[in-house]
A and B are shown apart, each in its own frame.
Chain A
Amino acid sequence: MRITAAVALIVFSLTGCVRLEPWVKPYEREVLADPIMSISRDPMLDRYRQHVFDTREAARGGTVSAGGGCGCN
């Protein structure tokens, strides 16, 4: 429900109907601050796992833990 409201707010704002304001206040972000809500909780583990995929696939990049370019031969 909150997602629908958020999307509706963005659409209305872009069409000039409503002035867009931040709708999640800093004091409402306690849950988001929990370590299990980190996009990469343990960066070294995630980078190496992504590296294993990058060396065995043609695809690369666009991931949070991607290491940028590579000399994949």
Chain B
Amino acid sequence: MVPALMAAVSLRAATLPEDRVEAMYHRYDGGGVVVDGPAMAIRRHITNDVSVGAEYYVDSISAASVDVVTSASPYSEQRTETGMTVDWLYGATLMGATYTHSTESDYESNNYGLAVSQDIFGGMTTVTMGYAHGDDTVMRNDTDFEEPIDRDDFRLGLTQVLTPTLLATVDYEAITEEGYLANPYRSARVLGAQVPEQYPGTRTTQALSVAGLKSWDEDTAVSAGYRYFTDTWDVTAQDIELGATRYLGNRWVVDLSYRYYTQNGASFYSDDFDREYNYMARDKELSDFRSHAVGARVSWLFHDSLPFGLSRANVTFAYDYMRFDYDDYTDLRTGDPYEFDTQLLQIYFTTWY
């Protein structure tokens, strides 16, 4: 089961999105899981102050991850996601609404989002607010199990021009969920014996991030970001991300990035419980772990001689290498703490028209 990708409107400035087409092939391969598929998106002004968009996204999943092979059976499935967006510009205010539907054989998700973005202070400051509501259904393929999840998502963001070469952003997001929040297939362990996981029926998460983007010289930009996360399951997490972008001539752009993530696990997580408790989880995503990710992107820009009246376009190859190290999650096949490497490849084309 995979979360929805395009659930809420994300407005950063009170200007309408450009008319643009995006297409992507993505492939994730690591930890026994392969996910690949295409994605497409289109944006178009229908009047001077209204823009509409549509998105289509497919994940073909082949999963034989460590928790699947040690407590269930490997599986293959497909997730399909479609989304629609409309934005309306009124003076210095941009309002947006979106609907996203995601479906797979044992999970269905519907998300409805609203967002407002307002430029103030001579255009140096942009304030954004967003709300999204989600209705999900969790199912099992082998039984008639079916349970709902209700979700409310609140966001507040600020983008500030600090100098002619420096931008800063601050974002806060709170998400509350109520319903069946466990995985119906996964097991916990009690003194080595596998038992069904038991999760609380509610969860509230909060995340606060700050980021800066600086023009280093006329060809180079550098960025840095930090996020702090906490929730009512006693998970705390932090991540930092550093990036650099540079033009090479007028045809190429290269991006390099590094991300470090660390988290302390949920209060009801254990690799192996000493007795049965009301709440028990053995989801490695709720354990203590660290991850590193290094990435590179190369973009080839097209400015001229484009057919069909297109104004510009680019093709991008993006590659990320990630490593995950778990402190308190045993690989039951070897008896050692679990760790894995993974790779993400994205091939991307976009054009403006």
Number of A-B contacts (CB under 8 A): 218
Asked if B348 and A60 sit within 8 Å, CB to CB, the answer is no
User: Chain A interface secondary structure, helix, strand, loop or mixed?
Assistant: loop
What are 22 inter-chain pairs, A to B, with CB distance below 8 A? A21-B122, A23-B124, A39-B169, A42-B350, A45-B346, A48-B39, A48-B346, A49-B344, A49-B346, A53-B259, A53-B261, A58-B266, A59-B261, A59-B263, A60-B229, A64-B157, A68-B153, A70-B7, A70-B109, A70-B134, A71-B136, A72-B285
**Given A29-B164, A37-B221, A69-B151, CB of A64 within 8 Å of CB of B211:** yes
Q: Given the complex, which residues of A lie within 8 Å of B285, measured CB to CB?
A: 55-58, 72
Max chain B Cβ within 10 angstroms of own Cβ: one of A21, A23, A34, A61: A61
Residue A63 CB within 8 A of the other chain? yes
Asked if B3 and A54 sit within 8 Å, CB to CB, the answer is yes
Q: Measured between alpha carbons, how far is A8 from B255 in the docked complex, in Å?
A: 33
Q: Measured between alpha carbons, how far is A21 from B122 in the docked complex, in Å?
A: 8
Asked if A59 and B227 sit within 8 Å, CB to CB, the answer is yes
Chain B: minimal CB distance from A15 (Å): 18
Residue A17 CB within 8 A of the other chain? no
Closest 8 CB pairs of A and B: A70-B3, A68-B8, A62-B207, A22-B122, A68-B7, A61-B173, A59-B229, A71-B136
Q: Measured between alpha carbons, how far is A72 from B266 in the docked complex, in Å?
A: 15
**Given A22-B121, A37-B167, A58-B263, CB of A45 within 8 Å of CB of B297:** yes
Q: Given the complex, which residues of B lie within 8 Å of A62, measured CB to CB?
A: 171-173, 206-209, 227, 229
Residue in chain A with minimal CB distance to B136: A71
Excluding A39-B211, A44-B22, 11 further A-B contacts by CB distance (< 8 Å) are A31-B215, A31-B218, A39-B169, A47-B6, A58-B266, A60-B205, A61-B229, A63-B227, A68-B111, A69-B153, A71-B107
Max chain B Cβ within 10 angstroms of own Cβ: one of A36, A39, A60, A68: A68
Asked if B263 and A3 sit within 8 Å, CB to CB, the answer is no
Q: Given the complex, which residues of A lie within 8 Å of B205, measured CB to CB?
A: 59-61
Residue A6 CB within 8 A of the other chain? yes
Asked if A45 and B316 sit within 8 Å, CB to CB, the answer is yes
Q: Given the complex, which residues of B lie within 8 Å of A6, measured CB to CB?
A: 162-163
Q: Given the complex, which residues of A lie within 8 Å of B297, measured CB to CB?
A: 45
Please list the residues of chain B having a beta carbon within 8 angstroms of any beta carbon in chain A: 1-8, 10, 12, 22, 24, 26, 28, 39, 41, 107, 109, 111, 113, 121-124, 130, 132, 134, 136, 138, 149, 151-153, 155, 157, 159, 161-167, 169, 171-175, 177, 181-184, 205-209, 211, 213, 215, 218, 220-221, 227, 229, 231, 233, 235, 237, 239, 245-247, 253, 259, 261, 263, 265-266, 285-286, 291, 293, 295, 297, 299, 316, 318, 320, 322, 324, 344, 346, 348, 350
Q: Which of B10, B235, B247, B259 contacts A58 (CB 8 A)?
A: B235
Asked if B28 and A47 sit within 8 Å, CB to CB, the answer is no
Q: Which of B3, B113, B209 contacts A72 (CB 8 A)?
A: B3
How many chain A residues touch the partner (CB < 8 A)?
A: 51
Q: Measured between alpha carbons, how far is A63 from B209 in the docked complex, in Å?
A: 7
The B-contacting residues of A in range 1-46, CB under 8 angstroms, are 2-3, 6, 20-26, 28-32, 34, 36-37, 39-45
Q: Measured between alpha carbons, how far is A31 from B17 in the docked complex, in Å?
A: 19
Q: Which of A39, A54, A55, A68 contacts B213 (CB 8 A)?
A: A39
Max chain B Cβ within 10 angstroms of own Cβ: one of A2, A28, A44, A64: A44
Q: Given the complex, which residues of B lie within 8 Å of A36, measured CB to CB?
A: 215, 220-221, 245-247, 253
Asked if A45 and B24 sit within 8 Å, CB to CB, the answer is yes
Q: Measured between alpha carbons, how far is A62 from B241 in the docked complex, in Å?
A: 14
